[in-house]
Chain A
């Protein structure tokens, strides 16, 4: 890791239809990834609703985060994580999610913060 290399952690806490917020958060994540930086994205609080799998005629690509999930292969996004407690408090389980995101416990959130040096709450 070069001296100017940083570890970015994005904490997505907003529900899907919070105006332009989602789009602008996604722009930040992609821009950082385009600079070849270490990027971790953590969905927590109402942010977990962003990842709920659609039912019926809707597909995962209809989700606001669909483009990011697809682009993960192109961009070097290190990890996509979901706070397990936030899911539970909203009556959701891992099987409701559109991707097999790794679930993290609250104490792991603490560890994650300490492992990154650019912390961005979105």
Chain B
């Protein structure tokens, strides 16, 4: 059963980021919300790690309004990330069989 993984903190100072990446199976999805959107910025090591996960046939999503509320443009996202709005967030929850919030 494909799982939607949710992260909501920056990758620094938290074990959740590594734990989440390690726990993703092929076909799982990842959605970055709140401060986790910082992990997807172009040029950051975290974006590189996330891209490596995406290469293993996972999908990586970023909540657009959490980028915008942090005064970040979509153009600052590293390649390979898809932006979703809250309606898209709801669709992702429906699409995957279960969700896990790593905190």
Q: Which residues of A contact B (CB under 8 A)?
A: 11, 13, 44-46, 106, 109-111, 113-119, 121
Contact = CB atoms under 8 A, between A and B. Distances in A.
B69 interface: no
A110 B3 CA distance: 10
Interface in B45-103: 97-103
Contacts of B103: 13, 121
A110 B102 CA distance: 14
A106 B25 CA distance: 11
A8 to B, nearest CB: 11
Contacts, number: 41
Contacts of B23: 106, 109-110, 113
Interface residues of B, number: 17
A57 to B, nearest CB: 33
27 contacts: A13-B15, A13-B19, A13-B103, A45-B15, A45-B19, A106-B22, A106-B23, A109-B22, A110-B22, A110-B23, A110-B25, A111-B25, A113-B3, A113-B23, A113-B25, A113-B28, A113-B100, A114-B1, A114-B2, A114-B3, A116-B98, A117-B1, A118-B98, A119-B3, A119-B100, A121-B101, A121-B102
B6 to A, nearest CB: 10
Contacts of A119: 3, 98-100
